[in-house]
Amino acid sequence: MRDFVSARARAIPPSGIRRFFDIAQTMEDVISLGVGEPDFVTPWCVCEASIYSIEQGSTAYTSNKGTPQLRGAISRYLDAGFGTRYSPEDEIIVTCGVSEAADIAIRAVTDPGDEILVAEPCYVSYTPCVSLAGGVPVTVPCRAEDEFRLTPDALAERITPKTKALIANFPNNPTGGVMQEADWRGIADILVDHDLLLISDEVYGELTYDGSHFSPAKLPELFERTITLNGFSKAFAMTGWRIGYLCAPAEITAAALKIHQYVALCAPVMGQIAAYEALRNGEAEKDAMVREYRLRRNLFVDGLNKLGLACHLPKGAFYAFPSVESTGMTDVEFAETLLREQHVAVVPGSVLGPSGAGHVRCAYAVSRDNLKEALSRMGTFLESLK
Amino acid sequence: MDEKDRILLQLLEENCRTPISELAVLAEVSEQDVRDRIGRLEATGAIRRYGAVIDWERAGNGNVAAVIELKVSPERDFGYDRIAERISRFPQVRSLRLMTGAYDLQLLVTGPSMHEIARFVAEQIAPMDRIRETATHIIMKTYKENGTTFAEREGVERLPYSF
């Protein structure tokens, strides 16, 4: 029998944390700082609206691009919250999470051989999605000394005549780094000069603690060349509902919609109804969760620094990204030994990009009691190394 | 009250035994600032007292509680305030509120038995001047008190890792 697996599928590297998964599975009392999702249950008003709609028999396909109610609500939400204007008619597609939105955005713009820049460290899907689309992923480092922002110099260095687009995620998973308006202006000049497109994943936008989130599509010179991705998972604690969205000028949206309708048809209707309710009535609970994340960040980052694990104060998302260099271990060794000896799960930074080496990602979206317990176990672990 | 005061009040309401050092880290202010702010909030009466939320039934001391509705004729010049003041002095009255709607004052009363509560209402409250009508509702079960749910819910399993 011949080998049926495609060369493209074969070329995707295996998950960098599969091994950790297997170790954690054998333990009873793991405190997981390894999972990129809120520990909150979705606000009850959102669950209740969706349950009611199911009882009413709302279980069918929706329009490919999502229900008009939800698209309208997303359009108003983006305008009011971030000052970006997208028409609900032809500039917004509701997707199965931001993961799908990223995939169809990349496929809508990538031709074979196109180089797509990926600001790293970052969420793991961008690079394989570029490869699957036939593009060539090229990483751009965001460094600790710049508080993990993307700098014009780092960007300019990686641009070639084949470069077509940049993928960036701010507030950033895994570093918690954010980009303010001035930071984006520097990047915008380069994108315009080289006629590049921006794919901006802003799923952590609501989780911005000092100042407010700046959406790059707000810059007029970027709007026409930006695909904005966002979703409900992180802000409204709705990871399992799988609702994200893609916003872009009409021509790009139409291209992405063709892919979306063939791979997903539409996002699940229950999730769309839930998302609509989240925008209508979920704001107060969202704000309360964001306030709680900020308290957790303060507690956890203070604790890390007291333990001697140098950590900048992340201004967004719900990740702390401390350096483990003081231990003399690599990030992979640190994460594996910490899991084996103290049953605390963190993600080694190097699996999230070369600039993540020497750091570990700790998701502080767990209760303050669990964060204190994790810090105490990490303290015991660090003592044992001396 | 500013944002930092609001954060401190919420943290204290959630757990008034949180150490000052932890409050300072959480609220992003100095420990001295925490002490000053709490002192001020105590002095102005914003913080009334420090207590615990207790599930007495689970603690094994099943006091009976009842909500009592009173229809009251208000007094010229004083409205409901003087009668409310008299009622609030009874230690059996745990909460007392003036309400809109079908009745005027709402009392939360606790006592060792249903009989004791009935006697308290019949002998102490109902005969007071200006009380026109009483209705006593015995509390059968408490599901949530001051934001704390008493029933235990099973947690949901989450993945140990995700990106």
User: Within 13 Å and on the Cβ side, how many CA atoms surround A313?
Assistant: 13
Number of domains comprising chain A: 2
- Report the DSSP pairing between strands A197-201 and A226-231: parallel
What architecture is the B56-141 domain classified under in CATH?
Answer: 2-Layer Sandwich (3.30)
Distance CA A142, CA A121 (A): 7
Set of chain B residues whose Cβ sits within 8 Å of the Cβ of A299: 22, 25-26
- Report the DSSP pairing between strands B64-72 and B105-111: antiparallel
In order of A46, A101, A235, A238, the CA distances from A274 in angstroms are 5, 18, 13, 9
Q: Quote the minimal CA–CA distance from B160 to chain A in Å.
A: 5
Task: Give yes or no: residues A304 and A356 share one domain.
Answer: yes
Which SS3 state, helix, strand or coil, does residue A383 take? helix
Cis before A174? omega within 30 = yes
Q: Are A188 and A214 spatial neighbours (Cβ–Cβ below 8 Å)?
A: no
Q: What is the pLDDT of residues B59-115, one digit of tens each?
A: 887 789 999 999 999 999 999 999 999 999 999 999 999 999 999 999 999 999 999
Cis before A121? omega within 30 = yes
Q: Are A100 and A260 spatial neighbours (Cβ–Cβ below 8 Å)?
A: yes
Distance CA A319, CA A313 (A): 10
Q: Is residue A1 part of a domain?
A: no
Decide if A36 and B22 are in contact by the 8 Å CB cutoff: no
Residues 6+ apart with CB under 8 A from A200: A168, A169, A170, A215, A216, A217, A226, A227, A228, A229
Task: Give yes or no: residues A246 and A378 share one domain.
Answer: no
Decide if B162 and A20 are in contact by the 8 Å CB cutoff: no
Q: Which amino acid is at A354?
A: P
ipTM of the complex: 0.74
Average pLDDT over residues B111-132: 94
Which SS3 state, helix, strand or coil, does residue A227 take? strand
Name the maximum alpha-carbon separation found in chain B.
Answer: 68
What architecture is the B3-43 domain classified under in CATH?
Answer: Orthogonal Bundle (1.10)
Q: Which amino acid is at B112?
A: P
Task: Give yes or no: residues A241 and A342 share one domain.
Answer: no
Which SS3 state, helix, strand or coil, does residue A176 take? coil
Instruction: Please state the separation of Cα B123 from the chain's center in Å.
Output: 25
CATH number at residue A152: 3.40.640.10
Task: Give yes or no: residues A203 and A243 share one domain.
Answer: yes
Distance CA A360, CA A103 (A): 26
Q: Which amino acid is at A38?
A: P
Separation of first and last alpha carbons in chain B: 40
Task: Give yes or no: residues A278 and A296 share one domain.
Answer: no
The parent domain of residue A143 ranges over 46-282
Decide if B22 and A299 are in contact by the 8 Å CB cutoff: yes
Location of each CATH 1.10.10.10 domain in chain B: 3-43
- Residue by residue, pLDDT tens for chain A (386 residues) are 999 999 999 999 888 788 888 888 889 899 999 999 999 999 999 999 999 999 999 999 999 999 999 999 999 999 999 999 999 999 999 999 999 999 999 999 999 999 999 999 999 999 999 999 999 999 999 999 999 999 999 999 999 999 999 999 999 999 999 999 999 999 999 999 999 999 999 999 999 998 999 999 999 999 999 999 999 999 999 999 999 999 999 999 999 999 999 999 999 999 999 999 999 999 999 999 999 999 999 999 999 999 999 999 999 999 999 999 999 999 999 999 999 999 999 999 999 999 999 999 999 999 999 999 999 999 999 999 98
- Residues from A contacting B (CB-CB < 8 Å) are 17, 20-21, 24-25, 30, 32, 34-37, 39, 41, 123-125, 173, 291, 295, 298-299, 302, 345, 347, 352
Decide if A39 and B158 are in contact by the 8 Å CB cutoff: yes
